[in-house]
Chain A
């Protein structure tokens, strides 16, 4: 299956006009082509080197530095102290909590998205495109505002508690709990799961499923042994795309969570903006980045670029 997702390696095609295509001529053409390509890429290349690659290295350098008395970082003495500090009871609690909530978010997204993506893949071309657009719109729409909408819904005497009262449940308190955070994360990242899942289910040859049914597999067996394994690249890609931002979430726990629901992302922010322990915050960010890079490599190996 993996071969399907690899991009075609396009050969260098020298553009020849008029002159005779001697090997020297072609070689000169290829060399010129390479220079031009690099030249065109150069502005963006340099920009990303300065404003992305160097900042990334800065974080790594800071993570080995020592905290100074003014809440800055002493860049003359390097050590592993910040990484040793990570092995702390509080940090372990936060990492475990973040991982737990991120896994829960990923699972909920998977369970909700699978039937949706499957249904979308079975529809006609036009219906699919319409369905896709209405998933894409919330996907790109203001994340802060979409989380804030849940704040309004879950708020004191808000719409949700009215509905709960009407249905005969007592006063419910969801806002500022971990459930609210998971709800906000699922709401925010659901399209990240739907899109790669749909992309991989849509590619499946329907005849394989029909063949399994002809051979007396029931619906569940056909799903377990045919549909699920074939859709696995989408499942993996979607899970990574939901898990990583959930782990680094900051806005959602800030708005919908309360005390005792701080996650990795928000804890890192605290280290920079409040606690002023830059090396420690940098060390946590570095760990998060290493996780992210590992996941990204798996993503490209398994799922390809489905966005």
Chain B
């Protein structure tokens, strides 16, 4: 099948110009934010000469660094657990047929499509009720459990895409050569889907580090992650310090996403 041929003449010029405008729209605000994080002014939107003092303020603010540390701890836990559970679910769905498969498939997709607010409300009521019955306090545990709940789906989708694109004849060949199913998985499938697992894991980490709405709902006992803390600061009143913190979060998130996309494009044998 042949794709659409490139248009000629002024149409091509107009289309190319539109595309550049879209990229400008995507990246110009990010650039502006980065520039203003170096601005020596009390007003976050006004340029007042170059300074790096907002970044050193960030580093010496114990509330902010504490929240950053919380974010990192939760992201690591959420990533590790969701990578294991998400990969297992991807293998089960892509390589096996079992009872209840369609329900499971649907259950895996729902957290991806459901609006943040709805999922946040669900988990808020659930944990409130559970705390009533079993008596635990909200904080690290409830945040990590919630993050895992939405990260599993994303890991599973990325790994499944990798498995679906993989030639399953390789596995069969291994088993024809007397490898057990486990050996075939361990020595053939796993190395080949490793880029997918890595990509899914990095994506899960990004999502966990970036989440505001769900975390805000399930937190308690003074526990705060960096985005939740920054969100509360923005609502109180904006200072250029928030610009600097935002840039740090933005750069971290963009680097992780870029690495994730890169990992997903790797060939299997490069990743081991």
Contacts and interface: CB of A to CB of B under 8 A. Distances in A.
Interface of A: 10, 12, 15, 17, 33-38, 40-41, 43-45, 47-49, 51-56, 58-59, 62, 112-113, 115-116, 118-123, 131, 133-138, 140-146, 148-159, 187, 190, 194, 201-202, 204-207, 209-210, 219, 244-245, 247-251, 254-255, 265, 268-269, 272, 278, 281-282, 285, 288-289, 292, 296, 299, 307
15 contacts: A34-B96, A36-B98, A47-B85, A51-B145, A59-B118, A122-B15, A145-B253, A146-B29, A153-B45, A157-B45, A206-B3, A248-B116, A250-B117, A254-B231, A296-B110
B253 A41 contact: no
Interface in B153-201: 156-157, 172, 175-176, 178, 181
B149 A41 contact: no
A133 B1 CA distance: 24
Interface of B: 1-7, 11, 14-16, 18-19, 22-23, 25-27, 29-30, 32-33, 36, 43-46, 84-86, 88-89, 91-93, 95-101, 104, 107-118, 120-126, 129, 145-146, 148-149, 152, 156-157, 172, 175-176, 178, 181, 203, 206-207, 209-210, 212-213, 217, 227, 230-231, 234-235, 238, 242-243, 246-247, 249-250, 253-254, 257-258, 260-261
Contacts of A155: 43-45, 238
Contacts, number: 288
- Name the prevailing secondary structure of the B interface residues: helix
Contacts of A33: 96-98
Given A37-B96, A296-B113, 19 more contacts: A10-B97, A35-B98, A41-B89, A44-B88, A45-B104, A47-B148, A59-B118, A59-B122, A151-B44, A152-B32, A153-B45, A157-B46, A202-B3, A204-B3, A210-B5, A248-B117, A250-B116, A254-B235, A278-B125
Most buried by B among A35, A52, A146: A52
Contacts of A278: 125
B246 A149 contact: yes
Given A43-B85, A142-B250, A292-B113, A53 B107 contact: yes
